[in-house]
Structure 1
Amino acid sequence: MLCLAIRIVAFVALILLLASPLCIAIGAQQRESNRVSQTLLAEGDQLIDGESNWRDTEKSHIQDPSGYRHLPSNNTDQELDNDRTLQSGANFNLVQAMCTMDFWILFIAVAFGMGSGFATINNLNQIGGSLGYRTFEKSTLISLWSIWNFLGRFGAGYVSDHFLHLRGWARPLFMGITLAGMSIGHVVIASGMPCALYTGSLLVGVFYGSQWSLMPTITSEIFGVLHMGTIFNAITIAAPVGSYIFSVRVIGHIYDKEASTAWNTCTGTHCFRLSFLIMACATLLGSLTALALFFRTRSFYSQDIDGTSNT
Structure 2
Amino acid sequence: MDLNFYLKYSKWVSTVASIWIQCTSGSLYTFSIYSQTLKSTQHYDQSTLDIVSVSKDIGANIGVLSGLIYDFLATRTRTGPWVVHLFGSAQCFLGYFLMWAAVSGVLPPVPVPVMCLFMFVAAHAQSYFNTSNVVTGVRNFPNYGGTIVGILKGFLGLSGAILIQVYRTVFNNNPMSYLLMLSLLPPINTLILMWFVRIHNTRREGESEKKYLNIFSLMALVIAAYLMIVIILENILTLQLSIRIFTFIVLMVLLASLLCIAFKAHEKNSSNSASKSFLAEGSNLIAREDSSNNLLPADDTNSQRTLQQGGNLNLFQAVKTLNFWILFVSMACGMGSGLATVNNMSQIGESLGYSTLETGSLVALWSIWNFLGRFGAGYVSDYFLHTRGWARPFFMVITLMTMSIGHVVIAYGLPGALYVGSILVGICYGSQWSLMPTITSEIFGVGHMGSIFNTITIASPVGSYIFSVRVLGYIYDKEASGTEGNKCAGTHCFKFSFLIMASAAILGSLTALCLFLRTRHFYGQVVLRRIQNVM
TM range (shorter): 0.7 to 0.9
Q: Report if aligned partners of 2:306, 2:321 keep a CA contact under 8 Å in 1.
A: no
Q: 1:220 to 1:144 in 2, by over 3 A?
A: same
Q: Which residue of 2 aligns with 1:287?
A: 509
Residue 357 of structure 2 aligns with an amino acid whose one-letter code is: F
TM-score, normalised with respect to structure 1: 0.79
Q: 1:136 to 1:60 in 2, by over 3 A?
A: closer
Q: 1:123 to 1:165 in 2, by over 3 A?
A: same
Residue 98 of structure 1 aligns with an amino acid whose one-letter code is: V
Q: 1:58 to 1:244 in 2, by over 3 A?
A: closer
Q: Which residue of 2 aligns with 1:205?
A: 426
**Cα-to-partner distance string for 1:63-87 (whole Å, 9 max, x where unaligned):** 31342699xxxxxxxxxxxxxxxx8
2:442 to 221, 226, 230: 221
How far the C-alpha of 1:123 sits from its partner, in A, is 0.6
2:350 to 100, 107, 129: 129
**Cα-to-partner distance string for 1:162-185 (whole Å, 9 max, x where unaligned):** 111010111111111111121111
Q: Which residue of 1 aligns with 2:392?
A: 171
How far the C-alpha of 1:8 sits from its partner, in A, is 7.0
How far the C-alpha of 1:212 sits from its partner, in A, is 0.8
1:251 to 472, 475, 496: 472
Q: Which residue of 2 aligns with 1:75?
A: none
Question: Would you say how many aligned residue pairs link Structure 1 and Structure 2?
Answer: 284
Give the distance between the partners of 2:411 and 2:272, measured in 1 at CA. 49
Give the distance between the partners of 1:34 and 1:141, measured in 2 at CA. 46
How far the C-alpha of 1:102 sits from its partner, in A, is 0.5
Q: 1:289 to 1:37 in 2, by over 3 A?
A: farther
Residue 492 of structure 2 aligns with an amino acid whose one-letter code is: H
Residue 124 of structure 1 aligns with an amino acid whose one-letter code is: M
Give the distance between the partners of 2:406 and 2:514, measured in 1 at CA. 22
Share of identical aligned residues, percent?
Answer: 64
How far the C-alpha of 1:226 sits from its partner, in A, is 1.1
Q: 1:281 to 1:6 in 2, by over 3 A?
A: farther
Residue 121 of structure 1 aligns with an amino acid whose one-letter code is: V
Q: 1:234 to 1:35 in 2, by over 3 A?
A: farther
1:271 to 451, 475, 493: 493
Higher-RCO chain (CA-CA 8 Å, sequence separation at least 6) = 1
Q: 1:135 to 1:302 in 2, by over 3 A?
A: same
Q: Report if aligned partners of 1:69, 1:90 keep a CA contact under 8 Å in 2.
A: no
TM-score, normalised with respect to structure 2: 0.48
How far the C-alpha of 1:27 sits from its partner, in A, is 10
Q: Which residue of 1 aligns with 2:291?
A: 60
Q: Report if aligned partners of 2:407, 2:498 keep a CA contact under 8 Å in 1.
A: yes
> Which shows bigger deviation, 2-11 or 61-70?
2-11
Give the distance between the partners of 1:269 and 1:157, measured in 2 at CA. 35
Q: Report if aligned partners of 2:289, 2:530 keep a CA contact under 8 Å in 1.
A: no
How far the C-alpha of 1:125 sits from its partner, in A, is 0.2
Q: Report if aligned partners of 2:311, 2:447 keep a CA contact under 8 Å in 1.
A: no
Q: Which residue of 2 aligns with 1:301?
A: 523
* 3-state secondary structure, aligned to 2:423: helix
Q: Report if aligned partners of 1:188, 1:200 keep a CA contact under 8 Å in 2.
A: yes
Residue 487 of structure 2 aligns with an amino acid whose one-letter code is: T
State the 4+ residue runs in structure 1 displaced beyond 4 angstroms: 1-41, 56-59
* 3-state secondary structure, aligned to 1:266: coil
| Structure 2 counterparts to residues 1-311 of structure 1, below 5 A | 3=239, 7=244, 11=248, 37=274, 60-63=291-294, 64-65=296-297, 66-67=303-304, 88-263=309-484, 264-303=486-525, 304-311=527-534
* 3-state secondary structure, aligned to 1:60: helix
**Cα-to-partner distance string for 1:180-214 (whole Å, 9 max, x where unaligned):** 12111111101211100011111111111111111
In structure 2, runs of 5+ residues without a counterpart are 1-236, 298-302
Give the distance between the partners of 1:158 and 1:119, measured in 2 at CA. 26
Give the distance between the partners of 1:69 and 1:12, measured in 2 at CA. 50
**Cα-to-partner distance string for 1:229-271 (whole Å, 9 max, x where unaligned):** 1111111111101000000001111112211414222110011
Q: Quick check: which has more Rg, 1 or 2?
A: 1
Give the distance between the partners of 1:292 and 1:27, measured in 2 at CA. 43
Give the distance between the partners of 1:33 and 1:291, measured in 2 at CA. 42
How far the C-alpha of 1:307 sits from its partner, in A, is 3.9
In structure 1, runs of 5+ residues without a counterpart are 45-52, 71-86
**Cα-to-partner distance string for 1:270-300 (whole Å, 9 max, x where unaligned):** 1101100100110111011111101111011
Q: 1:88 to 1:131 in 2, by over 3 A?
A: closer
> Which shows bigger deviation, 59-68 or 206-215?
59-68
* 3-state secondary structure, aligned to 2:312: coil
Residue 292 of structure 1 aligns with an amino acid whose one-letter code is: C
Give the distance between the partners of 2:261 and 2:327, measured in 1 at CA. 26
**Cα-to-partner distance string for 1:44-73 (whole Å, 9 max, x where unaligned):** 9xxxxxxxx9xx979835331342699xxx
How far the C-alpha of 1:16 sits from its partner, in A, is 7.7
Residue 322 of structure 2 aligns with an amino acid whose one-letter code is: M
How far the C-alpha of 1:306 sits from its partner, in A, is 2.7
